[in-house]
Amino acid sequence: MDELPLDHRYTLAVGCRVGVESRAGTMTVHWSVATLSSPEMRRPPEKEAPVAFECPRCGKPFVALVESTAKARRKRLVHLAVGLLLLLSLLVTLPMAFHLGGQVREENDPSMNPMVVLVPLVAVALVAGPTFFMTGRRYEGVKKHRLVLPDGKRTRLVQGHRFN
């Protein structure tokens, strides 16, 4: 599902936990993953709409929020732009940090040390840049997966399931 263009259709990937093995201090979780897609699964024309679906393995009912194509594309573009800007800022801040970090400063110099600003900027760009860029590439506009309880209420706890 990585790098697929956003269009008027969407897919849901549902993983249902099959089993858990624990041996020698390691825990292995086995999943049954299914991709739900059909020509009828179309995005809403504007804003977002809830979509009901069931886990193909265990039959539990879920609800997901599906965004319109325009809204999902905007969010994807914003994530990509912010990630790219942060990565490009590393081209400026990282060489500056190396250059200014190697300089000797006088003990009684009252001016502010530029490394106080540069080091956090480099750290933020180094962590947040790739994160925003990768989430922008993978963003599909399907969010807020909720388990539907027997009384009709929705809960955030979806134990034994994962969604893409």
The per-residue pLDDT for range 105-155, each reduced to its tens digit, is: 777 777 777 888 899 999 999 999 999 999 999 998 998 899 998 898 998
The per-residue pLDDT for range 55-83, each reduced to its tens digit, is: 999 999 999 999 999 999 999 999 999 99
In a domain, 86, yes or no: yes
The number of folded domains in the chain is 1
Q: Is 1's pLDDT higher than 80?
A: no
In a domain, 40, yes or no: yes
Q: What is the mean pLDDT of the chain?
A: 89
In a domain, 107, yes or no: no
In a domain, 28, yes or no: yes
Contact between 18 and 41 (Cβ < 8 Å):
no
Mean pLDDT over residues 49-53, rounded? 92
As a whole number of Å, the end-to-end CA separation of the chain is 8
In a domain, 13, yes or no: yes
**Domain span at 66:** 1-101+112-164
In a domain, 75, yes or no: yes
The per-residue pLDDT for range 28-49, each reduced to its tens digit, is: 999 999 999 888 889 998 889 9
In a domain, 58, yes or no: yes
- What is the amino acid identity at position 95? P
Bridge-based pairing of strands 154-155 and 12-23 is unpaired
